[in-house]
Structure 1
Amino acid sequence: MVTRIYHFLGLTVLFSLLLATLSAQEKKIVQFSGLISSVGGELPVPFVTVTNKSYDNQAHAADNEGYFSFVAHVGDTIAFSSVGFEPTSMVVPNTNSDKYTALVSMKSMVIELPAVTPFPWASIEEFNRAFLALDVSNDDASRIRRSLSPEALAALSRVVPRSADEIQTYNSMQRHINMTNKNINQRFANPLFSPIAWGSFINSIVKGDYSRKRLKY
């Protein structure tokens, strides 16, 4: 009796495998191609992983333009996955041709990560040691006075480059000083604007230095 049961189970398994093989052989083979783009836009989704779930999870990859092409069977379930996009899938439909082209749309996925607060201490014990060793002898006011002291500002001025506003202000002041000095020099170099020259000229007229007889006009 037990032997008959084992024979029956063996025949059942063999028959199931034979049916599965015949079913696989009866499936139509097509060249499955397509383009993968994002939903709501015409931008391609590059390097998407394309997996044939019905054929030993055979994996393929789309190129940088979102194009893929491989051999599949009619009725195969094809899954599409990519980082930053929601996974999607489709079934290869029956077609009269030996080629099928699909337009696959993938929806972008926004993932909000939980907030993380970084600390400069690796553990609570290290924080406690740093907190106990903290120097609180100087308050904020004393630190501000020390930072704004003439010595500190002079040291900063030697190493910190000037900003664009400072350079423009300095150049404007230099141009103003040069123009002022130029006008002053021209005013004093011209005898018409010199009161001393005018006084000497008037004294010469009074003394008769410029009379017609002396000048022989």
Structure 2
Amino acid sequence: MTKKFIILISGLFLGGALSGQEVWAQGESKSIKFSGVVVGGKQAEILPGAHIFIANAGRGTATSNNGYFSMPVLPGDSLVFSYTGYKRQYFVIPRDFREASLSAKIELREDAVTLREVKIYPFRNFDEFKKEFLSMTLPDAREREALARNTDPDYIRKMAIQQGDGINTGFRMSQDQIQNYNTNKGFANTIPFFNPFAWASFIKSVKDGKLKDNSWKELYKDTPTLNTNRDSYIRQQRGN
């Protein structure tokens, strides 16, 4: 009698423990390895970098270069597959799925938007285009104008007249003045006003009409005045 009672009590405790273990196993959410490939379009092209998001878990992943993906999920998870230019695709893990892994091929459909053809014409006709093209200013127009002006022979001649003498010319003139002083320092200065030969030459010039000859002015026509500068001289020549 005593042995039967002990066996009965042991059976009750063991059965209760097994029943509790079975209930705990049924309530546990087992992780599933979900893997597959994502393709899209009519040609089922591989879609690398496609985004996979689990809304209820707030996490996700992306496909590799060959469109493959692998991630842990739970029964009942809802996954969203998205890719630029394709419609979103939803996939739900079955709640009664009890396997350790699950594989699937996810196909996305193209999300094409057809737009009406739009033709853009900047000009109403070819004549307007030709007119605008001929009047177009080139990017280096100012540089071309400056180059043509600076290489013009008349411009170079005018700048040479205005430039004046250089250092070498001034030195040579000073040396000539010193030499003339040393040569004539022992002689008395003569005044042409009292020189009869100078008067004879002057009278002859008057008779020949040389005083009315103004051809010498042509030599100084392009020479700028002493109280002017380069800019004012150029504006004067241009008539500004």
TM-score by length of 1: 0.40
Higher gyration radius (CA): 2
